[in-house]
C-alpha cells in the first residue's frame, strides 16, 4: 500500500486564488488562534443576553409593583400631618366593563306582555347567565330601578329576569340586550323615565357567592336580598347612581356606592365599605362581620405500627451498607484506628414530631369610609370585639355623627374647623387625651379610649413619625426555662439516655454495643401554641367636618 507524501514547505494559499481575490485568512500580529477569538465572541453574546434578561426582569417587577400600588383599594396609610379623608380607588372590582371588548350581542327570550286594569302594561324578558362571571346592569333612561337577589331550588344555572311596568300613553317599548365579553357580561336596560324596572337575579340553591356585580343607573336604585338568599355574599359590589340608593340585608366583602343623592340602608361588610355622595345625606347601619377563614385540619399523628415499620426499614438500610471485616478489619486494628470501645455514633431514626398548629392570625382591619360634599353623615357601627376597624367620616358642609360599637377600644381623632365638637365614652370606659386644641370657630381632640380593666393601646405608627423603640435585650441563657432549649439538644440528650441503659423491648444492654430498638411514641410538643389574639381589636375612628358639628359616641 503506497502512501502519498506531502511536501514539507509551506503552501502559498494566496497563490491559488483566481485573479485579485482576497486571501482566505488575514494575517494578524496576535498569536491568539481564531477559534479562541470566536469562542470569546460567543461568550460575550451570552453575557449580553443574560444582562438583558436581568434588566427585563427588574423592569417588569418595578412596573408590576407600580401597577398594584395604584390599584390598591382602601384607606391610605397613616400620614405625618393627619391628612385623612382621602380615598385611593373608585371601585373594588378588578373588572372594568368600560374597557371590555364585546364579542357578540345576545337577544333575550321573546318578551311577555300583559295589560292590567289601570291602563299599564308589563313586559318581562329573561336572560341566561353563567355563574361566577362578572355582571353589570346598566339602567339607561329608566325610572326607579330595583334589583332583587333570590334563590330558586329548581334552577341549575342562574338567570336574570327584567320586569318593566310601562305606560301606554308614552308609546314606549322595552329594549334590553346582553353584551358578552371575554371576562364578563353587560345587560343594557333601556326604558322610559316614567317606567319602573325590577330586575330579579335568580341563583341556584347551591350558590354561595356572587363574584362581581356592577349597577349603573341614571335614577334611583334599590338593592334588596330575598329571605331565601340572606347568607349569600357579594364579593365585589359597585353601585353608581345619580339618584338615591337604598340597601336592605346586603352582605358584601367590598362595596362601593357612588351617587348624587341620599344613601340609606343596612350594610353587612367584611373588608371594605365606601359611601360617597355629592349632594345627599348618608344614613346607614353598618355591621362589620368576621371574615371566614379556611382552616386546614392538622395532620393526624402516625400510628405506632407505621413508626415501627419506618424504623425497621432504616435498620435494614444500615445493615445493607456493611461493616469492615476480615483483613480490612485487622488492618484497621493494627493501625490503632479501632479499639474495643464503641466509638461510632449510634444514629437513631426518630419519627417526625407532629407539626404545631399554625398560630392564629390577628383579624385584618375592616375599612369603612363615608364622604359627603353637601350633606349630613349619620353612621351606626357594630362589630365583634376582636375585629379591628378603621372608620373615616368626612363632610365638607354638614354634620357628622358616629355612634360607635360598645366594644370600641383604640384611637380616635375628631376635628371640626367651623362648628361644635363632642367626644363621649359610654359605659365602663375612659378617655386619654393626647392632643386637644380649641379655637373661636372649632377645634380638635386626639386621644385613646380604653376599658378600665385594659391597658392603654399603643399609638399608631406613622411613616413620618419617629421609629419605634428597640426591643428589649433577651434574657440570659441560664434563666431560660428548659422547654425553650433547642429541640435538637433535647433530642440528643434523650438519645444518650436511651443508649446508656434502657431498651423498650430488650431491657438493659448487656453487651458493649447498643442495639437498635424501637422508640416510644414521640414526645409531646416542647411548648404549647400561643394564645389566641387579644379579647378586643384595636380600632381607629377619624371623624371630621369642614363646616358642621362633629359628634363621636363610643
Confidence of residue 163 (pLDDT cuts 50, 70, 90): confident
Q: Residues 305, 287: contact at Cβ < 8 Å?
A: no
Q: What pLDDT, in 10s, does the model give residues 445-480? A: 999 998 887 777 665 554 444 455 555 555 554 444
Which pLDDT score is estimated for 391? 94
| Cβ-contact 418, 438 below 8 angstroms | no
Contacting residues for 405 by C-beta, under 8 A, at least 6 apart: 381, 382, 383, 385, 389, 554
407/79: higher pLDDT: 407
Q: What is the DSSP letter of 395?
A: E
Q: pLDDT: is 195 or 222 the higher one?
A: 222
Average pLDDT over residues 194-203: 85
Per-residue pLDDT band for 55 (boundaries 50, 70, 90) equals confident
User: Using 50, 70 and 90 to split pLDDT, how confident is the model at 139?
Assistant: confident
Q: How many CB atoms lie within 10 A of CB 542?
A: 22
Its sign, for the CA torsion 43, 49, 52, 56, is negative
| Alpha carbons 229 and 549: distance in angstroms, whole number | 39
pLDDT of residue 6: 47
d(CA 142, CA 161): 16
Residue 434, CA distances (Å) to 162, 448, 459, 461 in order: 56, 8, 10, 15
What pLDDT score was predicted for residue 62? Answer: 76
Does 299 or 473 have the greater pLDDT score?
473
pTM: 0.60
Residue predicted with more confidence, 15 or 328: 328
Give residue 114's pLDDT.
58
Bridge partners of 271, per DSSP, are none
Asked which of 232-241, 363-372, 516-525 is least confident by mean pLDDT, the reply is: 516-525
More confident residue, 522 or 401: 401
The span from the CA of 406 to the CA of 426, in Å, is: 8
Among 107, 164, 170, which Cα is nearest to 139's? 164
Residue 313 — φ and ψ, nearest 5°?
Answer: -65, -35
Query: pLDDT tens digit string along 345-388?
Result: 555 555 666 666 665 566 788 999 999 999 999 999 999 888 88
Q: What is the mean pLDDT of the chain?
A: 70
pLDDT at 325: 57
CA proximity to 176, closest of 167, 166, 168: 166
CA 206 to chain centre: 25
Residue 99 clears pLDDT 90, i.e. is over it: no
Mean pLDDT of 98-118: 60
CA distances from 109 to 4, 124, 128, 160, 329 (A): 95, 9, 9, 11, 92
Contact 413, 449 (CB under 8 A): no
pLDDT of residue 294: 52
Contact criterion met (CB below 8 Å) for 121 and 113: yes
Q: What is the C-alpha separation between 259 and 278, in angstroms, rounded?
A: 7
Return the pLDDT at 547: 93
* Spatial contact of 220 and 259, defined as CB atoms under 8 Å apart: no
pLDDT (0 to 100) of residue 79: 32
d(CA 2, CA 518): 80
* Digit-coded pLDDT (tens) for 8-52: 544 444 444 444 444 444 444 444 555 555 555 555 777 888 888
Output the pLDDT for position 445: 94
Backbone angles phi, psi at 314, to 5 degrees: -70, -40
Q: Place 326 in a pLDDT band, splitting at 50, 70 and 90.
A: low
Cell triple for 91: 371601585
Across 46-55, 134-143, 322-331, 482-491, least confident range:
482-491
Spell out the domain ranges in the chain.
Answer: 104-241, 366-464+535-554
Which letter, b or e, does each residue of 16-31 get, where b requires 16 or more Cβ atoms within 10 Å of its Cβ?
eeeeeeeeeeeeeeee
Other Cβ atoms closer than 10 A to 432: 10
d(CA 295, CA 59): 37
Amino acid at each position: 500500500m503506497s502512501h502519498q507524501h506531502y511536501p514539507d514547505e509551506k503552501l502559498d494559499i494566496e497563490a491559488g486564488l483566481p485573479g485579485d481575490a482576497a486571501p482566505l485568512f488575514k494575517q494578524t500580529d496576535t498569536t491568539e488562534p481564531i477559534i479562541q477569538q470566536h469562542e470569546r465572541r460567543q461568550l460575550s453574546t451570552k453575557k449580553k443576553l443574560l444582562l438583558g434578561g436581568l434588566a427585563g426582569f427588574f423592569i417588569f417587577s418595578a412596573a408590576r409593583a407600580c401597577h398594584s400600588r395604584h390599584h390598591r383599594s382602601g384607606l391610605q396609610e397613616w400620614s405625618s400631618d393627619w391628612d385623612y379623608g382621602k380615598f385611593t380607588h373608585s371601585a373594588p372590582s378588578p373588572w372594568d366593563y368600560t374597557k371590555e371588548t364585546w364579542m357578540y350581542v345576545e337577544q333575550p327570550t321573546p318578551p311577555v306582555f300583559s295589560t292590567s286594569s289601570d291602563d299599564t302594561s308589563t313586559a318581562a324578558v329573561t336572560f341566561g347567565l353563567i355563574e361566577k362571571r362578572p355582571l353589570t346592569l346598566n339602567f339607561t333612561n329608566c325610572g326607579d330601578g330595583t334589583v332583587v337577589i333570590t334563590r330558586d331550588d329548581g334552577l341549575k344555572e342562574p338567570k336574570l329576569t327584567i320586569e318593566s311596568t310601562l305606560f301606554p300613553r308614552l308609546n314606549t317599548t322595552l329594549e334590553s340586550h346582553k353584551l358578552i365579553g371575554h371576562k364578563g357580561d353587560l345587560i343594557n336596560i333601556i326604558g322610559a323615565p316614567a317606567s319602573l324596572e325590577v330586575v330579579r337575579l335568580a341563583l341556584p340553591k347551591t350558590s354561595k357567592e356572587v363574584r362581581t356585580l356592577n349597577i349603573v343607573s341614571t335614577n334611583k336604585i334599590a338593592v334588596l336580598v330575598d329571605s331565601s338568599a340572606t347568607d349569600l355574599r357579594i364579593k365585589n359590589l359597585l353601585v353608581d347612581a345619580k339618584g338615591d340608593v337604598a340597601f336592605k340585608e346586603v352582605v358584601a366583602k367590598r362595596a362601593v356606592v357612588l351617587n348624587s343623592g341620599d344613601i340609606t340602608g343596612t350594610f353587612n361588610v367584611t373588608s371594605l365599605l365606601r359611601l360617597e355622595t355629592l349632594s345627599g345625606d348618608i344614613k346607614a347601619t353598618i355591621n362589620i362581620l368576621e371574615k371566614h377563614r379556611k382552616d386546614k385540619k392538622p395532620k393526624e399523628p402516625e400510628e405506632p405500627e407505621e413508626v415501627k415499620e419506618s424504623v425497621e426499614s432504616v435498620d435494614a438500610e444500615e445493615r445493607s451498607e456493611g461493616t469492615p471485616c476480615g483483613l480490612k478489619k485487622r488492618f484497621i486494628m493494627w493501625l490503632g484506628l479501632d479499639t474495643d470501645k464503641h466509638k461510632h455514633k449510634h444514629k437513631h431514626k426518630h419519627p417526625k414530631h407532629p407539626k404545631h398548629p399554625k398560630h392564629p392570625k390577628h383579624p385584618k382591619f375592616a375599612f369603612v369610609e363615608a364622604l359627603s360634599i353637601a350633606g349630613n353623615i349619620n353612621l351606626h357601627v357594630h362589630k365583634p370585639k376582636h375585629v379591628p376597624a378603621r372608620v373615616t367620616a368626612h363632610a365638607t358642609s354638614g354634620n357628622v355623627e358616629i355612634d360607635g360599637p360598645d366594644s370600641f377600644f383604640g384611637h380616635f381623632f375628631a376635628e371640626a374647623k367651623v362648628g361644635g365638637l363632642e367626644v363621649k365614652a359610654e359605659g365602663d370606659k375612659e378617655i386619654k387625651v393626647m392632643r386637644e386644641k380649641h379655637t373661636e370657630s372649632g377645634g380638635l381632640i386626639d386621644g385613646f379610649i380604653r376599658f378600665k380593666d385594659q391597658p392603654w393601646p399603643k399609638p399608631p405608627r406613622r411613616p413620618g413619625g419617629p421609629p419605634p423603640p428597640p426591643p428589649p435585650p433577651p434574657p440570659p441563657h441560664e434563666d431560660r426555662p428548659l422547654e425553650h432549649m433547642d429541640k435538637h439538644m433535647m433530642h440528643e440528650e434523650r438519645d444518650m439516655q436511651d443508649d446508656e441503659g434502657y431498651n423498650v423491648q430488650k431491657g438493659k444492654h448487656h453487651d458493649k454495643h447498643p442495639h437498635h430498638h424501637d422508640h416510644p411514641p414521640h414526645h409531646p410538643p416542647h411548648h404549647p401554641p400561643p394564645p389566641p389574639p387579644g379579647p378586643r381589636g384595636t380600632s381607629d375612628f377619624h371623624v371630621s367636618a369642614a363646616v358642621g358639628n362633629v359628634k363621636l359616641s363610643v
